[in-house]
Amino acid sequence: MKPLKRLKLYPFACFQAFLGLLIGLLCGILYAFGGLLIDIGVSLSLLSPEAMSTPGLSLGTLLAFGALLGMPLIFAGIGFLLGAIGAVLYNLYAIWFGGLKIDF
């Protein structure tokens, strides 16, 4: 077993940003699909517009599909920030305790 003594900050933060982007894309797709189903239900009079507080295909649809761009960008930014913080904390941990022992 070889100890992992250091994580490079920028590559690890970029990796975390990529994972955040993928998770954000999945969440954005689910959010957009849910908003689309509600708007279709209101448009077809299956759901009450008063209960949903929307008159049909409207701003809600635009916001739901805006989530397809917004959520991945927000999740990627947060992933980058948390990846950078995580790499710094791991490097401090590795100095004090010798790092994680991993088989390569």
pLDDT in tens, 65-83: 788 899 999 999 999 999 9
What pLDDT, on the 0 to 100 scale, is given for residue 16? 97
- Owning domain of residue 39: 21-97
Residue type, 36: L
The reply to whether 3 falls in a domain is no
Domains: count for the chain: 1
43: which residues sit within 8 A by CB, 6+ positions away?
56, 57
Residue 25 φ then ψ, to 5°: -65, -45
Gap between the Cα atoms of 15 and 49, Å rounded? 43
What pLDDT, on the 0 to 100 scale, is given for residue 52? 58
The two tokens of residue 81 are 């920030």
The reply to whether 2 falls in a domain is no
The reply to whether 102 falls in a domain is no
The reply to whether 7 falls in a domain is no
The reply to whether 11 falls in a domain is no
Residue type, 9: L
